[in-house]
């Protein structure tokens, strides 16, 4: 008697291989069948994809808007110098001495002295001032120190610098030109939160749209599903075509959302170029990053799968 043959474990590799092959074949069939079902009802499928695409395109549009407003703020707010107007009795020597003292501070990057004549020349270039300046007997403008804070300082540190400048005896007035930028940054911070909340709400709306579409599809095929369950089909087997339907809905709607965002970007390119030209080319408007455009269809496909997964599991649990 052959003891090795008697004690040898049963070979399960062919069975396992057949199961894997069957699993892969069913995935391929489910993906193709769900796509065919979407094509069989083009109007309903296009409406679902359009609704989801519009919902997903809105956060992209707001992201584009906020990003470019922030870019404009950085471009227009590069000169955040603090203008320090000296007392009228302060001459050039006092202005140069004070500029040297301020330049030695750790929170000051540079100090530039603007003479009264330079200030008068700037006013003369402005429309409506040239005639009035000709009538002056003497230059009434004081010396002005343009104090540039160190890059990267927070608002509180710049505020302390402005307060110190106010307290100097030879200073008549301090004008902080960077205050508007701080307010803009605060508003953009609020806008970022709004865009995030909007993206979450619209992503939930897209998930519900897919879920409702899959629910209607399952309800229309309840008898077929009941037969499959009676002959022993597993829940995963029955659920798989609907999951792929959700993936297709999400993928196509994500592609549509990316295309709509690109269309908005293209529509704004000409007026943005004119705006940049009006600011002497200082404004450089950026488009949506490539990674975001590529990630949108993937994220939408995941949302579609999740919506289909939740609804199909709930529907099949009712059918059992």
Centroid of chain to Cα 156: 27
For domain 81-177, is the CATH number 3.20.20.80?
no
- Cα(284)–Cα(265) distance, rounded to whole angstroms? 14
pLDDT at 260: 94
In the chain, where the domains are located: 27-75+183-319, 81-177
- Cα(99)–Cα(162) distance, rounded to whole angstroms? 15
Q: List the chain pLDDT tens, one digit each, 320 residues.
A: 444 444 545 554 567 677 778 778 878 888 888 899 889 889 989 999 999 999 899 888 888 887 777 776 665 555 567 889 999 888 888 989 999 999 999 888 889 898 888 877 776 666 555 555 555 666 678 889 988 888 767 667 878 888 889 889 889 888 876 666 667 677 777 877 888 888 888 888 888 888 888 888 887 777 777 777 777 777 778 888 889 999 999 999 999 999 999 998 888 878 877 777 766 666 666 778 899 899 999 999 999 999 888 888 887 776 55
H helix intervals, 144-234: 155-166, 179-220, 222-230
Residue 191 near residue 63, CB atoms below 8 Å: no
302 by DSSP, 3-state: which?
helix
Show the tokens assigned to 312: 């199909």
pLDDT at 247: 93
pLDDT at 5: 46
Q: How many residues does the chain have?
A: 320
- Cα(221)–Cα(319) distance, rounded to whole angstroms? 11
What is the phi-psi region of residue 206: left when phi exceeds 0, alpha when psi lies from -120 to 50, beta otherwise?
Answer: alpha
Q: Give the largest CA-CA distance in the chain.
A: 129
Show the tokens assigned to 6: 């008697």
């Amino acid at each position: 008697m052959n003891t090795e043959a008697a004690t040898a474990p049963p070979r399960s590799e062919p069975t396992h291989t057949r199961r894997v092959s069957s699993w892969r074949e069913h995935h391929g069939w489910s993906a193709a069948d769900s796509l065919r079902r979407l094509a069989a009802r083009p109007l309903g499928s296009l409406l679902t994809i359009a609704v989801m695409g519009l919902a997903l395109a809105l956060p992209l549009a707001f992201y584009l808007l906020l990003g470019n407003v922030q870019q404009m703020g950085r471009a227009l707010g590069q000169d955040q110098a603090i203008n320090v107007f000296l007392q009228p009795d302060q001459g050039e020597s006092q202005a140069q001495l004070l500029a040297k003292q301020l330049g030695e501070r750790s929170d000051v990057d540079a100090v530039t002295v603007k003479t009264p004549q330079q200030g008068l020349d700037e006013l003369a270039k402005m429309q409506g001032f040239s005639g009035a300046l000709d009538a002056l007997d003497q230059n009434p403008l004081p010396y002005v120190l343009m104090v540039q804070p160190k890059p990267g300082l927070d608002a509180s540190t710049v505020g302390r610098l402005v307060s110190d400048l106010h307290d100097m005896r030879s200073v008549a007035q301090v004008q902080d030109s960077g205050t508007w930028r701080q307010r803009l940054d605060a508003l953009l911070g609020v806008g970022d939160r709004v865009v995030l909340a909007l993206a979450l709400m619209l992503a939930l709306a897209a998930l519900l749209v897919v879920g409702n579409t899959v629910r209607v599809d399952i309800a229309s095929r309840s008898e077929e599903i009941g037969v499959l369950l009676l002959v022993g089909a597993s829940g995963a087997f029955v659920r798989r075509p609907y999951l792929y339907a959700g993936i297709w809905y999400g993928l196509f709607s994500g592609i549509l959302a990316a295309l709509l965002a690109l269309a908005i970007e293209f529509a704004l390119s000409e007026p943005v170029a004119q705006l940049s030209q009006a600011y002497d080319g200082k404004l450089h408007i950026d488009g949506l990053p490539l990674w975001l455009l590529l990630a949108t269809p993937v994220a939408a496909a995941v949302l579609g799968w999740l919506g289909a997964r939740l609804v199909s599991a709930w529907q099949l649990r009712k059918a059992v």
